[in-house]
């Protein structure tokens, strides 16, 4: 019960900022490409502007670990919130496509720092027996925010045009920063738990020392990221392929996301009680199966059923990559290790749609989706092979 009490003590100051940040990200997600076209970008150029957020996140993962190690988790989150605020102001003000791309890339860079610092904070602050629930709840709160954000953005755009979505993110970021100021510093959490501070180590030294984990479990995380990112693309593409209108497609996608949101806490509870494999492997197996079934759908009902199955598979894996990274991270150089580990997952997030696009160009959409099904099952195999039976308690600070 003492562990649960420690989780509830920090929950409002951890999860409320995460919800606000997720709302902001969700608010601007549908309008970035539209903003780029308003500035004169082609369809391909608008796609590059959207992709700049993911590029910024990948570029920022390793520096985010070094920064968090140097200034601490709470200060890193505050700095990231300030950075995303400045980037959003730039999104509202820049007159060129390239300026918008740089600003959106900066939001991705801020997201890398923010995400890593949150993960490192909970890895330190929460007892091992609650770690999966804490991190899966973090992932679930982010999903809830991303689900709510587009609706708030749409409401704001009724009055402010496309700028309204950026204003929603801007206000949410400022509110998140205010809440973060109430977050206990990790050093005070360590003192409460009786843990001692640990010595610093260079980022590349940490990566070198833990390369065996990164080239095995990290590759598994990359595969997980690829098939998860593919899910967000294949549903609308296949819906268009079978002739569904955009409104129906949006409803199907929203229903899939709603199922996804419902499973984060049960997934964390199973991971804490039975082990990480009991969630990671079924999650990837179900996502692979759903991809395999998708080309067999030809009606709204069957596509909806498969989209719901994808939501189940993705929801089962809420927080699993963050939990695995936290389990594998050492007390000395934790943030630097997490930066390297997140680099694999974020690279997968970017590579998944690219792999799908390349396979579609060569083979067609249906075979490309089947290839992503195989990627999901490869991820399940990697998780089965490389996840340790039980997390090591000594690796907590």
Q: Which domain holds residue 22?
A: 1-197
Residues 362 and 286 in one domain: yes
Report residue 182's pLDDT band, with 50, 70 and 90 as the boundaries.
Answer: confident
Q: What is the mean pLDDT of residues 242-262?
A: 84
CA atoms of 277 and 283, how far apart (whole Å): 10
Residues 221 and 186 in one domain: no
Say what percent of the chain tops pLDDT 90.
38
Q: How much is the pLDDT for 191? A: 47
Q: How much is the pLDDT for 87? A: 94
* Domain limit, last residue, from 145, 168, 197: 197
Residues 40 and 121 in one domain: yes
Helices assigned H by DSSP within the chain? 2-28, 32-38, 43-71, 73-93, 97-125, 131-160, 163-180, 186-193, 203-209, 211-214, 217-241, 246-262, 264-274, 277-293, 300-316, 320-328, 334-363, 365-386
Q: How much is the pLDDT for 394? A: 44
Number of domains within the chain: 2
CA atoms of 118 and 36, how far apart (whole Å): 31
Global pTM reads: 0.84
Residues 344 and 254 in one domain: yes
pLDDT digits (tens, 9 = 90+) for 122-175: 888 888 888 888 899 888 888 898 888 888 888 888 888 889 999 999 999 999
184 φψ region: left (φ > 0), alpha (ψ -120 to 50), beta (else):
beta
Q: 159: which DSSP letter?
A: H
């Amino acid at each position: 019960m003492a562990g649960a009490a420690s989780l509830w003590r920090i929950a409002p100051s951890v999860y409320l900022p995460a919800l606000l940040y997720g709302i902001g990200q969700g608010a601007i997600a549908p309008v970035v490409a539209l903003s780029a076209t308003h500035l004169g970008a082609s369809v391909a150029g608008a796609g590059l502007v959207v992709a700049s957020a993911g590029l910024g996140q990948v570029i920022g993962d390793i520096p985010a670990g070094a920064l968090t190690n140097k200034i601490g988790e709470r200060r890193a989150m505050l700095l990231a919130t300030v950075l995303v605020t400045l980037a959003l102001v730039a999104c509202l003000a820049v007159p060129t496509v390239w300026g918008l791309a740089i600003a959106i890339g900066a939001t991705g860079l801020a997201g890398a720092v923010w995400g890593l610092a949150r993960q490192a904070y909970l890895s330190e602050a929460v007892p091992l027996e609650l770690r999966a629930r804490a991190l899966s709840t973090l992932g679930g709160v982010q999903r809830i925010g991303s689900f709510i954000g587009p609706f708030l953005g749409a409401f704001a755009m009724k009055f402010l045009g496309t700028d309204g979505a950026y204003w929603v993110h801007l206000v949410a970021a400022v509110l998140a920063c205010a809440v973060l100021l109430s977050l206990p510093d990790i050093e005070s959490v360590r003192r409460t738990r009786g843990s001692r501070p640990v010595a610093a180590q260079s980022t590349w030294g940490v990566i070198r020392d833990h390369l065996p984990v990164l080239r095995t479990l990290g590759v598994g995380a990359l595969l997980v990221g690829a098939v998860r990112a593919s899910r967000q693309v294949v549903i609308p593409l296949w819906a268009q392929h079978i002739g569904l209108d955009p409104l129906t497609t949006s409803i199907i996608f929203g229903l899939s996301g709603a199922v996804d949101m419902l499973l984060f806490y049960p997934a964390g509870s199973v991971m804490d009680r039975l082990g990480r494999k009991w969630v990671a492997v079924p999650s990837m197996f179900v996502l692979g199966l759903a991809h395999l079934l998708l080309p067999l759908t030809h009606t709204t009902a069957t596509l909806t059923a498969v989209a719901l199955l994808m939501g189940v598979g993705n929801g089962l894996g809420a927080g699993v990559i963050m939990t695995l990274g936290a389990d594998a991270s050492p007390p000395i150089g934790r943030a630097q290790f997490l930066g390297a580990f997140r680099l694999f997952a974020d690279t997968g997030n970017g590579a998944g749609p690219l792999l799908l696009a390349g396979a579609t160009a060569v083979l067609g959409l249906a075979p490309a989706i089947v290839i992503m099904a195989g990627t999901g099952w490869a991820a399940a195999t990697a998780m089965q092979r490389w996840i340790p039976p039980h997390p090591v308690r000594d690796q907590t600070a």
